[in-house]
Amino acid sequence: LSVCVAGRYIPPHLRNKDVSKNGFYSKSCGWNTAKDAYSSFGNNRGKSAFFNDRGNANRGRFEHGGFGGGGGGGNSRWVEESRDDGDWSKPTPRNERLEHELFSGSNTGINFEKYDDIPVEATGQNCPHHIESFQDVDMGEIVMGNIALSRYTRPTPVQKYAIPIVKSKRDLMACAQTGSGKTAAFLLPILSQIYADGPGEALNAAKENGKFGRRKQYPISLVLAPTRELALQIYDEARKFSYRSRVRPCVVYGGADIGQQIRDLERGCHLLVATPGRLVDMMERGKIGLDYCNYLVLDEADRMLDMGFEPQIRRIVEQDTMPHKGIRQTMMFSATFPKEIQILARDFLEEYIFLAVGRVGSTSENITQKVVWVEESDKRSFLLDLLSATGKDSLTLVFVETKKGADALEDFLYREGYACTSIHGDRSQRDREEALNQFRSGKCPILVATAVAARGLDISNVKHVINFDLPSDIEEYVHRIGRTGRVGNLGLATSFFNDKNGNITKDLLDILVEAKQEVPSWLESLAYEHQHKSSNRGRSKRFSGGFGARDYRQTAAGVNAGGFGGRGGRNQAGHGGTRGFGGGEDPV
């Protein structure tokens, strides 16, 4: 289903939406799918007709955007206020259609019970006690209802610790394995606080602003993510957990129509999910003010603070109107946290708790990792062998290093008769989302991807991740293979290794050993050679120390960290900032 009529592209989060006058999603809205909505436009392709035909099916979508003059604007303000006023801790009425849309299709992994054995360590002063069940902490009626609808029976390890830490207003740096439920670990406690505290000054600011005809929004919480697709996914989770509340989540990201995003913001925005570039744009256009943003989350935080994004993060957090650290609450989440990034992150955190779930930067033991020696010239035929051995209804994600490489491999697989698609930085945003949807739905069970798909994406049923090209740094490897084996499900990761991958040898070996995987003997001897050839970079130490030596503040290096000023370390570590997803020269 291509969601496009008369050349207009509707991003997923704006599809299929309808809002009735009372500000709640209404059952009687008339159409169920984006397709239905568009078919009612008939042949009427003129732009003015498109927007002015207010009695029509498009009404729900556009009436709050202020099209067609004063009436619309006034109405939308009324809707907003009716939504914002009142007791934020009380659930708003049910809506079965929306409930079905939001909550159908959740599942729990088969190894989920084993999750309880994962070692967790919290360091930092006065760490709040962890919980064992969702009932152990008061998150309010709305959050508890949505947890039940999501069929979450118990918190994952990162949630057990992060929820009370966030609830007691502490800053947090949380390092937990891929697929371990980090998103809910920050969304649940933040939303629960917002429901308990109400909108506060942010509401008055928006109202004051509205009086002057400006429609700047003042989100109470901001979640930053490195890729557009991840931002969308977090937004979808936020929609679940804000169901039946007065909180309206929004998402802004590059590559999609900014006008539409602005109109969506103008309908109210209390929790904003954003990619950095588009957010800066929105701030500069006066559409977003961060003056009352009490909760800041950096998801995939080590990526957000590497050299590609750091300037934009500083622009957003330090050089505008956001409350200072110590006043706002700041939370960082990732599966990997190189020491250099931990040190840099201090700029944004106050007296934080460091949470290590499993082992920092490690992989889940639910993922079986295989490394095979494959020469460049044999990669394609080797891949075909793997694919032919793959079960019918499982999804396979194939990572390559470059955009060109992705196109070429997709073409090749297509010619070989495989239903496949691709996602990379040269494809339009529409194509990227379409590709991801086709993959998720199983229509195209093979997705060829560059690093744009390495982080955060939660796609159920990805059984096999293949590193057709290995990445050059180990963090990237950890995130890529983490697209499988999520929330207790089992997964397989196969990596093609040859002479070109010397730089990752030692770190890869450490990861395999730590996750109790089979290590090919050739890899062992290569790593041994490599170690003696090159000067020790010291990075591998991250994976060899005992558990608990992971918060950099706990190590000798941490004690002396005051003097750490340079960026050489990060450069060396492969965080070269070459993966900025907005730029034209971006290889992925």
In this complex, which beta carbon is closest to Mg ion, that of residue 182 or of residue 506? Answer: 182
CB of 234 to ligand ADP, least distance (A): 8
AA identity, residue 571:
N
CB of 581 to ligand ADP, least distance (A): 18
Q: How far apart are CA 160 and CA 139, in angstroms?
A: 13
| Residue 302 touches which of ligand ADP, Mg ion, none (Cβ within 5-8 Å per kind) | none
Q: Interior CA angle at 348 toward 345 and 352, to 5°?
A: 80
In this complex, which beta carbon is closest to ligand ADP, that of residue 178 or of residue 495? Answer: 178
Q: Helices (DSSP H) in 5-46: which residue ranges?
A: 34-39
Per rule CB under 6 A, is residue 358 in the interface with ligand ADP?
no
For 32, the token pair is 């169920």
- The only residue of 12, 65, 179, 277 in contact with ligand ADP, by rule CB under 6 A: 179
Q: How far apart are CA 481 and CA 79, in angstroms?
A: 45
Q: What share of the chain is helix, strand, coil (3-state, %, to 5)?
A: 45, 15, 45
The dihedral over CA atoms of 554, 556, 561, 563, expressed in degrees to the nearest 10, equals 170
Residue (of 404, 419, 519) closest to 450 by Cα position: 404
**Which segment (42-50, 53-61, 175-183, 359-367) binds ligand ADP by CB under 6 A?**
175-183
**Which segment (2-10, 177-185, 271-279, 532-540) binds ligand ADP by CB under 6 A?**
177-185
In this complex, which beta carbon is closest to ligand ADP, that of residue 134 or of residue 497? Answer: 134
CB-side neighbour CA atoms (13 Å) of 128? 18
In this complex, which beta carbon is closest to ligand ADP, that of residue 121 or of residue 299? Answer: 299
In this complex, which beta carbon is closest to ligand ADP, that of residue 11 or of residue 181? Answer: 181
Per rule CB under 6 A, is residue 155 in the interface with ligand ADP?
yes
Residue closest to Mg ion, measured at CB: 456
CB of 299 to Mg ion, least distance (A): 6
Per rule CB under 6 A, is residue 152 in the interface with ligand ADP?
yes
CB of 562 to ligand ADP, least distance (A): 32
**Which segment (151-159, 289-297, 353-361, 376-384) binds ligand ADP by CB under 6 A?**
151-159
**Which segment (29-37, 182-190, 243-251, 511-519) binds ligand ADP by CB under 6 A?**
182-190
In this complex, which beta carbon is closest to ligand ADP, that of residue 106 or of residue 441? Answer: 106
In this complex, which beta carbon is closest to Mg ion, that of residue 182 or of residue 263? Answer: 182
- 3-state secondary structure (DSSP) of residue 140: helix
In this complex, which beta carbon is closest to ligand ADP, that of residue 487 or of residue 515? Answer: 487
Strand 4-5 and strand 8-9: the pairing is antiparallel
| Residue 88 touches which of ligand ADP, Mg ion, none (Cβ within 5-8 Å per kind) | none
Q: How far apart are CA 505 and CA 509, in angstroms?
A: 6
Per rule CB under 6 A, is residue 65 in the interface with ligand ADP?
no
Q: C-alpha distances in angstroms, 389 versus 185, 397, 495?
A: 37, 14, 16
In this complex, which beta carbon is closest to Mg ion, that of residue 61 or of residue 182? Answer: 182
DSSP characters over 192-255: HHHHHH-STHHHHHHHHHHHTT---B--SEEEE-SSHHHHHHHHHHHHHHTTTSS--EEEE-TT
- 3-state secondary structure (DSSP) of residue 90: coil
Per rule CB under 6 A, is residue 108 in the interface with ligand ADP?
yes
CB of 181 to ligand ADP, least distance (A): 3
Q: C-alpha distances in angstroms, 245 versus 139, 176, 201, 241, 276?
A: 13, 29, 18, 9, 27
Per rule CB under 6 A, is residue 182 in the interface with ligand ADP?
yes
CB of 176 to Mg ion, least distance (A): 9
| Residue 181 touches which of Mg ion, ligand ADP, none (Cβ within 5-8 Å per kind) | ligand ADP
- 3-state secondary structure (DSSP) of residue 128: coil
- The only residue of 16, 146, 156, 193 in contact with ligand ADP, by rule CB under 6 A: 156
576 Cα distance to chain centroid: 21
The residues of the shown chain that bind Mg ion, judged by CB under 5 A, are 182, 456
In this complex, which beta carbon is closest to Mg ion, that of residue 403 or of residue 486? Answer: 486
| Phi and psi, residue 292, nearest 5° | -115, 25
By the criterion CB under 6 A, which residues form the site for ligand ADP?
106, 108, 152, 155-156, 159, 176, 178-184, 458, 486-487
